[in-house]
Structure 1
Amino acid sequence: MGESAPGHELPLRLFAAFRAAVDAVHDDLARAGHEHLRPMHGFVFQAIGTRGTTAVELGARLGVSKQAAGKTIAALERQGYVERAPDPHDARRKAVRLTDAGRDVLDRSARTFARVRAQWADTLGPDRLERLEADLADLTPGEIWRLDAPGWFGPER
């Protein structure tokens, strides 16, 4: 390839690859009737998880205020993806849980990400993709499941 690319190109290419994978997921979700979901919602669904959470915990996981988390919860509740219920461990709190529709989104997303990875393996070769994944793991310290991207990208920092 010759001369090195400028330093700013690498993070842009990494983001473009991330964007391509996420766009593929949202194309599939739209075809399945979930056309109003946005990439930020994926972080929300992951942060809620299969066990549920509270608005305060959700805000902390996403790196946003409790109020911002509450607005997101209310919007997803109106769309049928989450529900609020009494917290079984603390009657003063409301738990936020995924509905069947929310779990369907997570399942469909996982299948699409697996398909995208398989396509990348076809393009690069499985060994090269595994080396790329190992190299990225070496370059990215800490927890892979950082869900605070909405807060990191947002105006509050």
Structure 2
Amino acid sequence: MGIEPSSVKIDNMVDGTVNQVVESAQGPGYELPLLLFAGFRALVDALHRQLAEEGHPDVRPAHGFAMQAIGTAGASASEIGRRLGVSKQAAGKTVDRLEQLGYVRREADPSDARAKTVVLTDRGLDCLRRSAAIFDELRGRWGRTLGSERLRQLEADLRTVAGAEGFRLDAQAWFDR
């Protein structure tokens, strides 16, 4: 990796020799999580603007995490809560809202007559499909801005530092700790 011209300062010139002092391209440590969060926020905000234009104006980031936790096979409120890292009651409130908006419905659990399984409706599945397509489009924009190879390397580097835990759905609960 070469030195960016803006990060090189000429210190002095003696006998035709240039001594260069390389200024640190590294910001303070606290900047890294803020920059990562700003990138996440930029993507999610752009996603929700586009979803609103495509017929999903009421869906919020927490709803997206919940629909991912429900998945295509459905899940109980307890399981949704575990996946999101929240109580069964908190998961139930989110499910209630998603049900009001038409993204999920509760069905009888075939293995337990007392239990209910939360499943995505066609509207919920449409929202997830559109979200995936929009994220692909946003990734393409980032690739055009940063360069596709640089973006691939960034993603590979983030996978490396994220470790085995990889993708987690409990971001909202983590912020509430």
**TM category, shorter:** over 0.9
Tell me by how many angstroms 1:37 deviates: 1.4
Given candidates 82, 87, 103, the residue that maps to 1:65 is 87
Tell me by how many angstroms 1:125 deviates: 1.1
What is the TM-score of this pair, normalised by structure 2? 0.84
Report what 2:114 is aligned to: 92
Aligned to 1:91, what secondary structure does the other structure show? strand
Given candidates 35, 44, 53, the residue that maps to 2:57 is 35
For 1:136 and 1:45, how far apart are their aligned partners in 2? 24
Task: Give the number of equivalent residue pairs.
Answer: 155
Please tell me whether the aligned partners of residues 65 and 84 of structure 2 are also in contact (alpha carbons under 8 angstroms): yes
Code of the residue aligned with 1:22 in structure 2: it is V
For 2:53 and 2:165, how far apart are their aligned partners in 1? 32
* Sequence identity percentage: 57
**Larger Cα Rg: Structure 1 or Structure 2?**
2
What is the TM-score of this pair, normalised by structure 1? 0.94
Quick check: which one's strand share is greater? 2
Report what 1:153 is aligned to: 175
Please tell me whether the aligned partners of residues 81 and 90 of structure 2 are also in contact (alpha carbons under 8 angstroms): yes
Report what 1:111 is aligned to: 133
Structure 2 residue 131 is matched with structure 1 residue 122: no
Report what 2:43 is aligned to: 21
Q: Which runs of 5+ in 1 are unaligned?
A: none
Poorly superposed stretches of 4+, deviation over 3 Å: none
Tell me by how many angstroms 1:153 deviates: 1.3
Tell me by how many angstroms 1:126 deviates: 1.1
Given candidates 123, 126, 131, the residue that maps to 2:153 is 131
Q: Deviations for 1:90-116, whole angstroms, at most 9, x for unmatched residues?
A: 222100000011001100100010001
